Amino acid sequence: MTNVQAKPETTGWTKPAPTALLVLADGTVIEGYGLGAPGHAIGEVCFNTAMTGYQEILTDPSYAGQIITFTFPHIGNVGTNEEDIETVNMAASSGARGVIVHAPVTNPSNFRATRHLDQWLKARNIIGLSGIDTRALTALIREKGMPNAVIAYAPDGKFDLAALKKEAAAWPGIDGMDLVPDVTTAQRYDWDETTWELGKGYGRQTDPKYRVVAIDYGVKRNILRLLAKAGCAVTVVPATTPAENILAMKPDGVFLSNGPGDPAETGKYAVPVIKSLLDAKVPTFGICLGHQMMALAVGAKTEKMHQGHHGANHPVMDYTTGKVEIVSMNHGFAVDTKTLPKNAKETHRSLFDGSNCGIALDDRPAFSVQHHPEASPGPQDSHYLFKRFVDLMQKSKKAA
């Protein structure tokens, strides 16, 4: 009889060692698994509730200085492509400094995909972390506010934890920080690309009716596309362009773009320019940071929010139409409604927390909104605002 030696009992699968960390400023360490670019970066951690559009979110210049946690567990499953990037300069660094997702990223399953999210993050130098309880992190942000943190990825799993904790604790945070110089254009340029259509791609404008100067505080591509689609010949200028240079271009309207950072800091050089444009009664339209700085230009104040608004499912009341619209949001500061002057009428308000989402001036042809009517990602409920801007320019031209 042959003796058969029993095989040793197995203990099941072995949990892989963590290769990425999120180190909060208070010393909390959250372990996960790395993806994207190895290295480490510091920023403010926010959560975004959008279920789609992660590529557009990660390239939105308004996210400069932030680490984005997606509340939706499955991110990356439709891959990435070269058409859904929102930074105007394709070679420029992305807005976000890091990304946190719950589930491991699967292979792409969409006909438009050209690359896996992991490869795309590497190419854009974005550090990623997966495999953590994003619901718990979201609950922490809701309770304590948006923390400063370091996100780190080391393929060998080796970290200088003491140094990372020290770096996270020492970072001063976005409050009081002007981040616009990191994302604005270095020189003036013209824009004529229009919106995307299935089977056709992006179009080109051929018959513009209005000349618009867009001040770039971190502008998104789809804003410029919708302006072009609405009949505007758009010229984009750097954030520090003097008012006299803008007025010398004889624009029919001026657009104040979205962007990152503390509006009060950017406003130190932007507000005097905006004041001059408003005094010249040039039709003006602002979005996000542009909205906040228009409010500052008429004497209102802004304030840091506890957790901010980041997502594509925010309900906003438009008092000019009496309708509720679902909008895309991305901001960590808000206009303090109590400080609005008499000539600034509140036109939009968040139905989540009652914060201000829009104003219109009684004595100037100017209005602005806190949310992102261009979407990308998000619903298109607010596309009408671009027509409202065109109508304002048309009315102003007729009155001239």
Q: What is the mean pLDDT of residues 307-330?
A: 96
Band (pLDDT 50/70/90 cuts) for residue 12 is: low
Residues noted as catalytic: 288, 372, 374
Question: Whole-prediction pTM value?
Answer: 0.94
Compute CA distances 46 → 50, 137, 153, 373, whole Å.
Answer: 12, 9, 19, 21
Where does 7-140 show beta strands of DSSP type E?
20-24, 29-36, 39-48, 66-70, 98-100, 127-130
* Percent residues over pLDDT 70 in the chain: 96
The tokens for 239 are 């954030």
What interhelical angle do 263-279 and 289-297 show, nearest 10?
60
How high is the pLDDT of residue 69?
98
The tokens for 107 are 């292979």
Does pLDDT of 4 surpass 60? no
Q: What's the mean pLDDT when you consider all of the chain?
A: 95
pLDDT in tens, 187-224: 999 999 999 998 899 999 999 999 999 999 999 999 99
Using CA atoms, how far apart are residues 196 and 180, in angstroms rounded to an integer? 27
pLDDT in tens, 332-343: 999 999 999 999
Does pLDDT of 3 surpass 50? no
Residue pair 173/179 in contact by the 8 Å Cβ criterion: no
> What single string gives the DSSP state of each residue in 184-217?
S-SS-EEE-EEEEETTTEEEE-----EEEEEEES
Does pLDDT of 329 surpass 50? yes
Band (pLDDT 50/70/90 cuts) for residue 397 is: confident
Does pLDDT of 7 surpass 70? no
Using CA atoms, how far apart are residues 54 and 70, in angstroms rounded to an integer? 8
* Partners of 100 in beta bridges: 69, 129
* 3-class DSSP assignment, residue 371: coil
Of 367, 368, 370, 369, the C-alpha closest to 396 is 367
Does pLDDT of 130 surpass 60? yes
Using CA atoms, how far apart are residues 53 and 393, in angstroms rounded to an integer? 32
How high is the pLDDT of residue 11?
58
pLDDT in tens, 111-123: 999 999 999 999 9
* Percent residues over pLDDT 90 in the chain: 92
How high is the pLDDT of residue 89?
82
How high is the pLDDT of residue 15?
76
How high is the pLDDT of residue 36?
97
pLDDT in tens, 61-108: 999 999 999 999 999 999 999 999 999 987 677 789 999 999 999 999
Pairing of strands 66-70, 98-100: parallel
pLDDT in tens, 217-265: 999 999 999 999 999 999 999 999 999 999 999 999 999 999 999 999 9
Q: List, in sequence order, the alpha helices (H) in the chain.
A: 54-58, 117-123, 134-144, 161-170, 221-229, 243-248, 263-279, 289-297, 384-399
> What single string gives the DSSP state of each residue in 290-347?
HHHHHHHHTT--EEEEEEEEEEEEEEEEETTTTEEEEEEEEEEEEE-GGG--TTEEEE
The tokens for 286 are 């602002």
Q: Which amino acid is at 74?
A: H
* Residue entry with tokens 């058969």: 4
How high is the pLDDT of residue 5?
42
Give me the half-sphere count of Cα atoms (radius 13 Å) on the Cβ side of residue 384: 9
pLDDT in tens, 340-388: 999 999 999 999 999 999 999 999 999 999 999 999 998 999 999 999 9
pLDDT in tens, 25-39: 999 999 999 999 999
Contacts of 194 (CB under 8 A, 6+ apart): 202, 203, 204, 205, 225, 228, 229
